[in-house]
Structure 1
Amino acid sequence: MNERREGIRVALDVTVSEKLVSGTLNARVVSLSNTGMRYTKPSNIRRHGAKEVFLEFTLPGESESIKVLGWVVEEIEKENILETAVTFMFLPENDEGKINTYVNKHLPACPA
């Protein structure tokens, strides 16, 4: 599960619902890319050990939520926070377009 991906990530601070057979948990998204996201939850919440998670979140300015299956590529604990990185799987084309638009709009400015 230590597979780090390179790519352009932008900061994002929204709630994501992590849905498993055992229940649903709300976490905070910290970054988003065209292919995945990183989110955090308190470390007192037990690691679930699942490789796949169903995620639901809403981008700022959007009214409809994005629902996507995520493949867990990293789960680490640091400073009382459990951080999970996922790669999106089977992302619907419409939602992919929303994410691409959001990421491209929020890219850091390059110095001239």
Structure 2
Amino acid sequence: MKLLLHACCASCAVGVLEKLKYHPAKITLFFYNPNIHPKKEFERRLEDVRKIAKLYSVPLIVPEQTESEWHSYIKGFEHEPEKGKRCQLCFELRLKKTADY
């Protein structure tokens, strides 16, 4: 059994990897987060996820992504408050990309 796990950050990934530590599934992390900016923050989170992938000996997939993908997807909802429709769209985009992979 294989499991592709979307990782938004290292701390979330660790929580799930710990829970699944003894599960027989072959886990692969998937880091697709075009919503994270500025670029420095994106790179910091990606580096932390790379460390976790290495620590847990799981593969990490980082597909090509741009901030403009996220902006296009949430167009019209840029001024929505946190936890509003924009957040729902953001989760939808990232999980859809993971499922489509």
Larger relative contact order (CA 8 Å, sep ≥ 6) = 2
Taking structure 1 as the reference length, what is the TM-score of the superposition?
Answer: 0.28
- Report the structure, 1 or 2, having the larger strand content: 1
Taking structure 2 as the reference length, what is the TM-score of the superposition?
Answer: 0.30
- Report the structure, 1 or 2, having the larger helix content: 2
